[in-house]
Structure 1
Amino acid sequence: MKKISLLIIALLAAVVLAACNDSSAASDKDTVKVKIGVNGSDGAQWPVLKEKAAKEGIEIELIEFADYTLPNNALAQGDIDLNAFQHISFLSQYVKESGNDLVPIGSTMFAPLGVYSEKIKDISEIKKGDKIAIPDDPSNQARALRLLESADLITLSDSFGLFGDPSGIVENPLNLDIIPMVAQQTPRVLPDVTASIINNGVAGQAGFSPGEDPIFKEEGKDESIYPYVNTIVARGEDKNNETYTRIVELYQEEDIQKVITEDTKGGSALVILTQEQLDKTFEDLIK
């Protein structure tokens, strides 16, 4: 009798264990894993987003890249599923040059370019012959030059456009020495230049507060900022992927806005564009 009881107990234990294993396997199967390429994963919004997504069966893995072109190449090649590091203007330039089919599927934040300095406290203190470092990628280079123009330091040609370079400067009354360089280098050269125009994300990685430290920065106004709104990007074939769309929706919720504002001390703001606004801005830029 004891042997029969022990056999029954053993069989029941095996059934329970098998059920647990099946449940675990089903749980793993139900979880959708999404790799998102980023350029610096220290933003406080990411842990919040990952936690929210996990509750809906979406496991987000952040893949960090040190160079601006690498996340787009990795996405085009299928090494990652999405990326979230660039504005629409940068993406359009990449697509035009590479021919790869990448598209914006959701807006994230507007992060103003800022002028930083270790030598002066106000943009008006820039004097004749001073050296100014700017990012050298086409979209941010043009954007930085427009920022200098808005500070009345230079004048650009009427045909300058969104991807102009220093050759588009028609007036430089202070004979400023404007030095394009890789964006990640712009904080590092501060001891050697009067001022440096630094991307918001790069500034944050370098220990600056983009909301408090710039001596001058961009001001976002209406549709003029659309090309510089950061985005979540997918391959063209995945534009309507329901999981990716849900990630965008989770990112654009109020709690993420609050985290971004607090984390950047007001240096960045969540901007929600409709898909139609994204598509129009992107398509206008890649013509």
Structure 2
Amino acid sequence: MKNLGLVLSIILLAGILVACGDNASGNTTTLNEDKIVVGVTAGPHEQIVEAAAEVAAENGLEVELKVFSDYVLPNTALSEGDLDVNSYQHEPFLDQFNDDHGTDLVPVGKTILNPMGVYSETYESMDDLPDGATFGLPNDPTNGGRALFILEEAGIISLEEGKKETASIHDVIDNPKNLEFIELDAAQIPKQLSEVDAAAINTNFALGAGINPKEDSILLESTNSPYVNFIVVRAENENDLAVEKFIEAYQSDEVKAFIEEEFQGSVIPSWDE
């Protein structure tokens, strides 16, 4: 009987410890209400979150910034818990990342539109591009598709029906100028612009290379683009107070004024759209 009592006591104690363990684990998923770690890509996203951090500090939220030089690592770091939030991507890219990596990252607040532009060191308009011109575009699926979407919207090419935002170069069904598409690393396209007749460049990389989208592009993405950027978190944290505080700071009048003054139309606040 003593042995039976001992066994029952051990089982009961184990059950209590497991319950406590589950409780503790649940608590660790909630973000600190007073500090948040935010990942961004270098350039406009970095500058804007720095401005948002100043607003957040006034409301008792400390923002620690981590800056990345590519598009994949901020999501990897977020999914692994090294970040609490990131701010750098549009929803088609996020959806593709979740599909490819089995992650559950969710958009929680609109930020900005970085209108992708087409640039050329040789030609002053898309009409000037000769037959068979070489055209550089990002080699990642979402931004490559975005570049093709812009070309179709401008009447330069036609894409297969149903492939608008997810198109690849293999989905081009009409190409009157016989453009030769060359897929390149998005971050390197500004350095390789002289090697092609024209190229589509993401705004953060264009600005980083001293290229002004509004003034220097020969074609600029329209403001009705589906590629608005978002603040992104792990699904378990989407209703956390720290996240709400950060969104409020980002979408403040102070940050909107900073964007409009700093970027003069090259970056567009999109949370009121």
TM (normalized to structure 2)?
0.84
Amino acid at match of 2:127: S
Partner of 1:107: 110
Q: Give the whole-Å Cα distance in 1 for the aligned partners of 2:41 and 2:48.
A: 14
- Indicate the residue corresponding to 1:46 in structure 2: 49
Moved more, 203-212 or 243-252: 203-212
CA deviation map 1:163-184 (0-9, x unaligned): 1101101111222111112110
Q: Secondary structure at the match of 1:186?
A: helix
1:155/1:161 Cα in 2 relative to 1: closer, same or farther (>3 Å)? closer
Matched to 1:158, the amino acid is: E
State yes or no: 1:192 paired with 2:191. Answer: no
The one-letter code of the counterpart of 2:37 is K
Aligned counterpart, 1:64: 67
Residue identity opposite 1:178 in structure 2: F
Task: Give the Cα separation in 1 of the matches to 2:182 and 2:120.
Answer: 15
CA positional deviation for 1:211: 2.2
Q: Which residue of 2 aligns with 1:147?
A: 150
**5+ long unaligned stretches in structure 2:** 1-31
Determine the structure 2 residue equivalent to 1:127: 130
Alpha carbon RMSD of aligned pairs, Å?
1.7
User: In terms of mean alpha carbon deviation, does 248-257 or 67-76 score higher?
Assistant: 248-257
Structure 1 stretches (4+) deviating beyond 6 angstroms? none
Corresponding residue of 2:12? none
Structure 1 residues 109 and 214: alpha-carbon distance in aligned structure 2, compared to 1, 3 A threshold: same
CA deviation string 1:182-207 (max 9, x = no partner): 11011111110111100111111111
Q: Specify whether residues 175 and 41 from structure 1 end up closer, same or farther in structure 2 by C-alpha distance, changes over 3 A only.
A: closer
2: distance between equivalents of 1:154 and 1:211? 23
1:37 aligned partner: 39
Q: Distance in 2 between matches of 1:121 and 1:39?
A: 30
Deviations along 1:219-262, one digit per CA (max 9) or x if unpaired, are 122xxx3x311011000000001111111111111221121122
Alignment of 1:1-287 (within 5 A): 32-41=34-43, 43-221=46-224, 225=225, 227-272=226-271
Alignment check: 8 A CA contact 1:211 1:268 kept: no
Q: 3-state DSSP class of the match of 2:254?
A: helix
Q: Distance in 2 between matches of 1:186 and 1:216?
A: 16
Q: 1:139 to 1:63 in 2, by over 3 A?
A: same
Cα deviation for residue 31 of structure 1 reads 7.8
Q: In the alignment, residue 103 of structure 2 is paired with which amino acid?
A: N
Letter in 2 for 1:191: S
User: In 2 relative to 1, CA 250–244 (structure 1 residues): closer, same or farther, beyond 3 Å?
Assistant: same
Unaligned stretches of 5+ residues in structure 1: 1-29, 275-287
The number of aligned residues is 241
* TM-superposition CA deviations, 1:112-149 (whole Å, max 9, x none): 11001111111111111111101121111111011112
1: CA distance, partners of 2:161 / 2:52: 42
- Structure 1: distance between partners of 2:53 and 2:108: 18
The TM-score normalised by the length of structure 1 is 0.80
Q: CA separation in 2, counterparts of 1:261 and 1:55?
A: 21
Letter matched to residue 54 of structure 1: A
Task: Please state how far the C-alpha of 1:41 moved relative to its aligned partner.
Answer: 4.8
**In 2, distance between residues paired with 1:106 and 1:210?**
24
SS in 2 for 1:263: helix
Corresponding residue SS for 2:71: coil
Name the SS of the counterpart of 2:173 in structure 1.
Answer: strand
How far apart are 1:32 and its partner, in Å? 2.1
Q: What are the Cα deviations for residues 34-80 of structure 1, in whole angstroms up to 9, with x where unaligned?
A: 11111115554233211111122211111111111000000000011
